[in-house]
A and B are shown apart, each in its own frame.
Chain A
Amino acid sequence: MQNAKDTFYEVLRGRVAAVNPDRTIVLRGVVRPGVLVTENELVSSVNLPDCFRLSWTAVKTDTHGTMPALAMQCEIAYETAGTAVNAGMDRGRCLGAMDGELLAAIGAVPQSSLKSNYAGLEFGAAAVAMKTNIWWGDVVFGEMKVDDDRLSRTATVEVMSYEEAGEL
């Protein structure tokens, strides 16, 4: 399950960076593409704007096949106050741009990727390619919400994978 989550994050981060190289954030002193996984970061009471924040919620399983199949719900939250140079009056356009980036990144063909095991990165080793692909459905956009000067939205996408031997 963790490998599928990590792989989807890596794919989405790469695709967002390709669609809009300027969408970057500074997190723990490092400039990186504007995609993060909340459970992998320090707990914070402040939502970082102008980036995509991934949270993993519901999980469904199908154990009838040769390999157990998983369907994991990924919630992607994002918000923006627009740009200072426009005094925030472009916040609607900025949110629309993020909608477009997410749609392009998730909807790009193929909607699948070879699963990798990133556990070795902690010790300086490279990611290891696994034997199966993860795949995902289309993005579903939630309603736009207004919170003071910020506009926000949460989109969801279902990410599927097979659990390979040794992953359970």
Chain B
Amino acid sequence: MGTVSETMSPVLGRVRAYFAPVNRGSEMPTIFDPAQSGGFALDAPPAPWVDLGWIDGFVRKCGTKVVALRSGAPATTQMQVRTEIEATVAFAFESWGKAQLALAAGTQQMNLLKTVTGATAEGSGGVAIAATALLTGSTANVLQVGSTAAAGFAVGEIVAVDVDYAATTGFVGSGLSGAYVKSALTDVDYVRRVTLNVGRIAAIGTGTAAGALTLECPLLAGVPTTSMKVSGVVGFCDREGSSFFQEWSGLFVGEGQQGERVVWFYPRLQTTAGVTEDVAASLGGLEKARLAGSFRALPVVDPVDGETVVCFRSYVAG
């Protein structure tokens, strides 16, 4: 891009969203370095960022308050101070998926595990079918379950991959904490109910590859351990009134028409609203329900100069 065009305001089209885990135990977000990765291909974000697709109605609000300190008679502003640092961001996802549902809900988002026959009805899914153990040799894309167990799965099916719940308390869920357990539960499948470590089966191996479930996309948590198990999922469920606050690192990219790029990086985001949808007009006089969310940015310390900040805006020339 020539220097002449850098003087023009970016003409942005749609905004693309990405997310990455925040380690809840240590409150460590995933850091995005625009100097190193600001020009990444939109379809191939740098690890561990996960593509959330296009979003609509991207609105950033600054709630930071700047107050004048006055002295003298008549009072004259001598200096200014920031008394509150606040930033929020709101948007609607253009697509529905596990990640979009979970982040928009802002709380634990349940995987509806396949239930045993005759299970007692529960609002977020009854007693699940016993999970399938993972064998050695699994990767983030390929789950080795053995040929007998593989016959119990189907191409196109969604699976949740995580460890058995072992009566512990605290954050649970591999890759990204899916819930916080305040007091011990009895459901051995609870972690797989709330995990974001899910995938859709693209192929089931045959012949020498028998017993391998190939996923459409890599698992969020990467290569699974052999302590993890696989449960079939029929859908997802979230609940108004849940106590857990989901937290994630957010990255939003707007591409200008001259090759430039505006990148908004929020190291820590938590929801400011309950579970809701945004209804928009669709073709044919119908309406489409979009997952809407609004989020508050939480602070991190920028080690470059020790400043406490809540979001970063970068302009990357094309």
Q: Which A residues fall within an 8 A CB radius of B? A: 65-67, 110-112, 131-133, 135, 160, 162, 164-165
Q: How far is the CB of B265 from chain A (nearest CB, A)?
A: 23
How many pairs of residues, A versus B, come closer than 8 Å at their CB atoms?
A: 34
Contact status B7-A66, CB under 8 Å: yes
**List of 3 A-B pairs having minimum Cβ-Cβ separation, nearest first:** A131-B2, A135-B257, A66-B7
Q: Is B117 an interface residue (CB 8 A)?
A: no
Contact status A135-B2, CB under 8 Å: no
Contact status B257-A164, CB under 8 Å: no
Contact status B4-A67, CB under 8 Å: yes
Contact status A66-B1, CB under 8 Å: no
Q: Is B258 an interface residue (CB 8 A)?
A: yes
Partner of A66, one of B8, B255, B258, B259: B8
Across-interface contacts of A112 in B (CB, < 8 A): 257-259
Q: How far is the CB of A20 from chain B (nearest CB, A)?
A: 24
1/0 per position for B1-14, CB-CB distance to A under 8 A?
Answer: 11011011101010
What residue in chain B is nearest A135 (Cβ atoms)?
A: B257
Q: How far is the CB of A32 from chain B (nearest CB, A)?
A: 29
Measured CA separation A4–B259 after assembly (Å): 16
Contact status B257-A67, CB under 8 Å: no
Contact status A133-B7, CB under 8 Å: no
Partner of A67, one of B1, B8, B259: B8
Measured CA separation A110–B43 after assembly (Å): 12
Q: Which B residues fall within an 8 A CB radius of A? A: 1-2, 4-5, 7-9, 11, 13, 255, 257-259
Measured CA separation A133–B2 after assembly (Å): 10
Across-interface contacts of B11 in A (CB, < 8 A): 135, 160
Measured CA separation A160–B258 after assembly (Å): 11
Contact status A66-B4, CB under 8 Å: yes
Measured CA separation A66–B8 after assembly (Å): 6
Contact status A162-B8, CB under 8 Å: yes
Contact status B5-A160, CB under 8 Å: no
Measured CA separation A147–B9 after assembly (Å): 46
Measured CA separation A112–B258 after assembly (Å): 8
Q: How far is the CB of B136 from chain A (nearest CB, A)?
A: 40
Across-interface contacts of B7 in A (CB, < 8 A): 66-67
A111-B13, A131-B1 given as contacts; is B8 within 8 A of A65 (CB)?
yes
Q: How far is the CB of A5 from chain B (nearest CB, A)?
A: 17
Contact status A131-B5, CB under 8 Å: yes
| 30 A-B contacts (beta carbon < 8 Å) | A65-B8, A65-B9, A66-B4, A66-B7, A66-B8, A67-B5, A67-B7, A67-B8, A110-B255, A111-B13, A112-B257, A112-B258, A131-B1, A131-B2, A131-B4, A131-B5, A132-B1, A132-B2, A132-B4, A132-B5, A132-B258, A133-B257, A133-B258, A133-B259, A135-B11, A135-B257, A160-B11, A160-B257, A162-B5, A165-B4
